[in-house]
Amino acid sequence: MRVTGNRMIDLATGATAAGQTRVASAAQEVTTGLRVTRPSDDPNAYVSAERAKLHKTLVEGSTRAVQTSHEHLAQVDGALATIGESLSQIRSLAIQGNSATYNASDRAQMAEQVRTLFTASLGAANIRSAEGEYLLAGSASLTEPYSTTGAYSGNAPPRDVPTPADPSVRATVSGSARRQATGGRRR
């Protein structure tokens, strides 16, 4: 095979063009920090990278959901503590009021204290999250769960929060669940 001068120039031009393409690709990789910038660079690597981005987004969303749920549970714990303290004080007042040493005026003052404690308990039972949702309303979180008389108007279906380890974790508890746990008795 005879190699002419033109053939040598064509081979050199092709090698130079290929080298320039490799240099440009390496420069882009160094500049962006990415080996694959478009699907045609490496389809398998591109799909893997997109899956990793999606997984990261899902984990971040789940983490935020779990953090928000922890915050909500802390708020509910505080509300239930307030209600428990109010109920304890109401019970003490009822026992005191049953004593013969108190007159009608004393009992009227105790009744006013009970009304105040009831109002405080009602406020705690109608607690709202930072997002404005009622935390003890079940899945009807935009509706105030307890009326001024203390009647429950929320609903029973709880809401679930997705997590990376489990497709869903219970995030809310309805007010009716408390009554069911106590056998329907009011405390």
Percent of the chain with pLDDT over 90: 27
**Is the pLDDT higher at 89 or at 20?**
89
Which residues does 46 contact at the CB level (< 8 Å), separation at least 6?
A: 36, 38, 39
Q: State yes or no: pLDDT of 164 exceeds 70.
A: no
- The residue assigned the tokens 């004080």 is 89
- Report how far residue 163's alpha carbon sits from residue 167's, in angstroms, rounded to the nearest whole number: 6
Q: State yes or no: pLDDT of 186 exceeds 50.
A: no
Q: Quote the pLDDT of residue 177.
A: 55
**Is the pLDDT higher at 167 or at 42?**
42
**Inter-CA distances, 70 with 22, 74, 78, 177, Å:** 52, 6, 12, 19
| 80 φ, ψ (degrees, to nearest 5) | -65, -35
Q: What would the pLDDT profile of 52-79 be if each residue is shown by its tens digit? A: 888 888 888 878 888 888 888 899 999 9
Q: Are 138 and 179 in contact (CB under 8 A)?
A: no
Query: HEC string of the chain?
Result: CCCCHHHHHHHHHHHHHHHHHHHHHHHHHHHHCCCCCCCCCCHHHHHHHHHHHHHHHHHHHHHHHHHHHHHHHHHHHHHHHHHHHHHHHHHHHHHHHCCCCCCHHHHHHHHHHHHHHHHHHHHHHCCECCCCCECCECCCCCCCCECCCCCECCCCCCCEECCCCCCCEECCCEHHHHHHHCCCCCC
Average pLDDT over residues 76-100: 92
Q: How confident is the model at residue 187 (pLDDT cuts 50, 70, 90)?
A: very low
Average pLDDT over residues 150-179: 65
Q: Quote the pLDDT of residue 159.
A: 66
Count how many residues are written for the chain: 187
Q: Quote the pLDDT of residue 175.
A: 55
- The residue assigned the tokens 């007159």 is 103
Q: What would the pLDDT profile of 29-53 be if each residue is shown by its tens digit? A: 667 777 676 677 678 877 888 888 8
- Report how far residue 90's alpha carbon sits from residue 83's, in angstroms, rounded to the nearest whole number: 10
Q: What would the pLDDT profile of 2-13 be if each residue is shown by its tens digit? A: 778 888 888 888
Q: State yes or no: pLDDT of 168 exceeds 80.
A: no
Average pLDDT over residues 72-99: 92
Q: What would the pLDDT profile of 110-163 be if each residue is shown by its tens digit? A: 999 999 999 999 999 999 998 888 888 888 888 899 999 988 888 877 666 656
